[in-house]
């Protein structure tokens, strides 16, 4: 598929307007698995239009995604699948890969689960090992520890207690928690070491509780007994991860007054911590009228250390803002960034060098050196097939007269309306041949 770049400009360094964000990808993907496991008792409201969520919804409902008819997950009659070796290709959807690795063994069908080239470089071994211990039969198709994987039917639970490292992707843990109540013997999950991205695990448990699934969490041990789902509806909140880019735009603007409807101060999403993080850059968050108002106030930046362990998806946003403002900050909690859609550490280092900023790695500590920062008249941003690289660097257009972003379609993964929303608050966009999903709103 051809990549279509987009060029951003902004004549005024003020940002004002109302932005309606899509539903949270993180919440929606959890809700979709819960809905599937519940046999229809649980309904999902305010579906996200993020490509990852659309892909997972299509797989779970047996609908077409792109041009390929996907296997129906969860069918009760094996004869409904003509080819017992059907393949599910989830593309770059990392959450879908992790959640389906846990979900599909319980469904009784033989299937190959695969993804994009980058997905086949992202490790899955820890989760596969856990599922094998529980009783799943899973083989690797090519490389040990990485997708594609071949999942066989005939799951019979062999264990009800699993130990898993806490400093890995929280999606492994969430995948196991989501299926726990559907296991005949339930599941006790012991977390080894410090838990990374704890808010995402808390989100999972809170959504399960909304769907009638109770748990206990004592010290580092989470237990979920076998139990039925309750009939309910899970309302997906607007996406706080998407909101973070508007906080970045406000932080880099001279003046900003933005309203993001639907966001609340009591969100399940860990990325709502962006309100506290961006307060360091003079952004005030006021919750009223059913949303949050962002305003920019002149304020010196004093905070030097940012621990992003519990909100790694905000790392690129915060680091780029600090770099653009010439703030020599230190960052910790970035351990999982190297196994995301791209090696986000290397990607940040490469792109920040274009404005003369260094991101220096010292063990698990990262320091910005802005001593040679310079703002060019024009900059080209490589995105590395990573939606968050595109959106984290886009706010630089408030400072750089002409910012060209590679592969504009990449934002479909989590925030398809991103470019259209930028235009609403005064960003100028050339309009290349974008995908139909991204064109929505650009012609209005």
**CA separation for the pair 57, 8 (Å, rounded):** 32
Residue 154 burial by CB count (10 A; 0-12/13-18/19+): exposed, middle or buried? exposed
Q: Closest Cα to residue 336, out of 319, 314, 358?
A: 314
Cβ atoms of residues 306 and 316 within 8 Å:
no
The torsion defined by the Cα of 278, 282, 287 and 290, in degrees rounded to 10, comes to -80
Cβ atoms of residues 169 and 339 within 8 Å:
yes
**Is 313 known to be catalytic?**
yes
**CA separation for the pair 391, 306 (Å, rounded):** 20
Cβ atoms of residues 41 and 49 within 8 Å:
no
φ/ψ (deg, to 5) at 137: -105, 110
Tokens encoding 307: 């621990």
Q: Closest Cα to residue 115, out of 172, 48, 55, 177?
A: 55
User: Choosing from 52, 313, 409, 421, which is the catalytic residue?
Assistant: 313
Q: Closest Cα to residue 99, out of 168, 186, 30?
A: 30
CA distances from 219 to 43, 73, 189, 193, 196 (A): 32, 35, 11, 11, 15
Catalytic sites, residue numbers: 313
């Amino acid at each position: 598929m051809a990549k279509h770049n987009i060029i951003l400009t902004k004549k005024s360094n003020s940002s004002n307007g109302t932005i309606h964000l899509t539903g949270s990808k993180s919440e929606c993907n959890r809700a979709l698995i819960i809905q599937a496991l519940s046999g229809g008792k649980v309904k999902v409201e305010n579906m996200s239009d993020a490509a990852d969520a659309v892909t997972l919804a299509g797989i779970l409902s047996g609908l077409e995604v792109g041009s390929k008819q996907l296997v129906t997950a969860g069918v009760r009659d094996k004869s409904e699948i003509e080819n017992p070796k059907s393949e599910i290709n989830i593309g770059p959807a990392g959450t879908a890969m992790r959640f389906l690795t846990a979900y599909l063994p319980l469904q009784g069908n033989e299937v190959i689960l695969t993804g994009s080239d980058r997905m086949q470089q992202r490790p899955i071994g820890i989760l596969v090992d856990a599922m094998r211990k529980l009783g799943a039969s899973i083989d690797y198709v090519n490389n040990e520890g990485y997708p594609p994987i071949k999942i066989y039917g005939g799951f019979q639970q062999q264990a009800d207690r699993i130990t898993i490292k806490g400093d890995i992707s929280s999606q492994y843990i969430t995948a196991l928690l989501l299926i726990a109540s559907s296991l005949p013997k339930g599941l006790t999950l012991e977390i080894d070491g410090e838990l990374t991205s704890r808010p995402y695990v808390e989100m999972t448990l809170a959504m399960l509780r909304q769907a009638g699934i109770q748990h206990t969490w004592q010290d580092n041990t989470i237990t979920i007994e076998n139990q039925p789902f309750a009939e309910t509806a899970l309302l997906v909140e607007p996406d706080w991860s998407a909101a973070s880019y508007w906080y970045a735009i406000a932080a880099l603007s001279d003046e900003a007054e933005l309203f993001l409807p639907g966001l609340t101060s009591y969100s399940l999403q860990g990325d709502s911590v962006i309100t506290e993080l961006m307060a360091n850059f003079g952004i005030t968050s006021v919750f009223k009228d059913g949303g949050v108002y962002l305003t920019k106030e002149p304020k010196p930046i004093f905070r030097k250390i940012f621990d992003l362990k519990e909100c790694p998806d905000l790392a690129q946003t915060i680091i780029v803002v600090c770099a653009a403002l010439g703030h020599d900050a230190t960052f910790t909690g970035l351990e999982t960034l190297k196994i995301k859609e791209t090696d986000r550490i290397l990607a940040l280092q490469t792109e920040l060098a274009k404005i003369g900023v260094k991101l220096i790695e010292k063990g698990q500590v990262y320091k910005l050196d802005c001593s040679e920062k310079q703002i060019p008249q024009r900059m080209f941003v490589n995105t590395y097939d990573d939606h968050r690289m595109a959106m984290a660097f886009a706010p630089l257009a408030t400072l750089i007269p002409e910012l060209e972003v590679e592969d504009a379609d990449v934002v479909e993964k989590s925030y398809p309306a991103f470019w259209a929303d930028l235009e609403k608050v005064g960003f100028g966009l050339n309009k290349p041949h974008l995908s139909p999903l991204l064109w929505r709103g650009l012609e209005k």
